[in-house]
């Protein structure tokens, strides 16, 4: 599901929950445990996040969604998963280490939200990235609305989220969603080189610079709480539930 390999100051987390690294309670718990393990190693200054699947992370587990949307208390169960994802992504975002997302395949929904929580993103030019939840009558509630707007402005965020637009890696680089895009066959080596370069910097300076950059964008309004509030309404919205059910019926995986 998740594995951790440490090579000096670089900790590599590999996602391997076949076939799509879909989010589950177990996956979140494993992530939390690995982050705690990394925190116990003060020499680690860089986290390299990657997937050994064709997909980086496709977001929601369809079987879990199907179960939730077929039971009366299902929306609240789904909402608690989203809350846990929010907390996990904030933990990644605020960790005193530099995180790099190596996006070799599709990063959709909660998968892109995970990547957005990382400090740096490097994608294959062929990768697919997007937050298409609105198409199902939902929204990217695990930080997607907040981070994408902060990253590339309200205009681009509205274009991508409201239009449920999916980009390739090259387009994502042009819009500033990822910092680099390379052909897939070069991606692993390029990411390793980037991790090695960052790890050569003083850890304290990296952490301090990251903290100062983050302070510039502290919101006056709690956008994460707003996401949860709005997501609760959508989970209980009949039209949204119908759209999700139709999607799940078309995708029996």
Architecture of domain 2-250 in this structure: Alpha-Beta Complex (3.90)
Going by pLDDT thresholds of 50, 70 and 90, the confidence category of residue 243 is confident
* C-alpha span between 196 and 47 (Å, rounded): 11
| Active-site residue flag, 226 | no
Average pLDDT taken over every residue of the chain: 93
| Active-site residue flag, 113 | yes
pLDDT in tens, 81-103: 999 999 999 999 999 999 999 99
The domains of the chain are located at 2-250
| The one catalytic residue among 102, 133, 173, 227 | 133
Q: What average pLDDT does the segment 11-38 reach?
A: 95
pTM of the full structure: 0.92
| The one catalytic residue among 113, 126, 227, 246 | 113
SS (H, E, C) 219-238: CCCCHHHHHHHHHHHHHCCH
Cβ-contact 5, 14 below 8 angstroms? yes
pLDDT in tens, 126-166: 999 999 999 999 999 999 999 999 999 999 999 999 999 99
Cβ-contact 117, 143 below 8 angstroms? yes
């Amino acid at each position: 599901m998740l594995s951790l390999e440490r090579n000096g100051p670089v900790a590599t987390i590999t996602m391997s929950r076949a076939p799509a690294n879909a989010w589950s309670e177990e996956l979140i718990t494993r992530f939390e445990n690995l982050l705690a393990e990394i925190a116990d190693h003060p020499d680690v200054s860089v986290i390299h996040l990657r997937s050994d699947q064709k997909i980086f992370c496709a977001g929601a587990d369809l079987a879990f969604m199907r179960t939730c949307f077929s039971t009366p208390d299902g929306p609240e169960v789904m909402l608690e998963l989203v809350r846990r994802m929010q907390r996990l992504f904030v933990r990644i975002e605020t960790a005193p280490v530099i995180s790099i997302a190596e996006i070799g395949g599709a990063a959709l929904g909660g998968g892109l939200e995970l990547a957005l929580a990382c400090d740096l993103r490097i994608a294959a030019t062929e990768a697919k990235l997007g937050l298409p939840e609105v198409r199902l009558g939902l929204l990217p509630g695990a930080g997607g609305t907040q981070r994408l707007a902060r990253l590339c402005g309200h205009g681009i965020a509205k274009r991508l989220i409201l239009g449920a637009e999916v980009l390739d890696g090259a387009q994502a680089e042009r819009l500033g969603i990822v910092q680099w895009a390379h052909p897939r066959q070069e991606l692993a080596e390029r990411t390793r080189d980037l991790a090695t370069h960052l790890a050569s910097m003083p850890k304290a300076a990296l952490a301090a610079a990251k903290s100062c950059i983050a302070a510039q964008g502290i919101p006056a309004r709690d956008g994460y709480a707003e996401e949860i509030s709005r997501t609760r309404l959508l989970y209980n919205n009949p039209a949204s539930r119908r759209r999700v059910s139709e999607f799940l019926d078309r995708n029996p995986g």
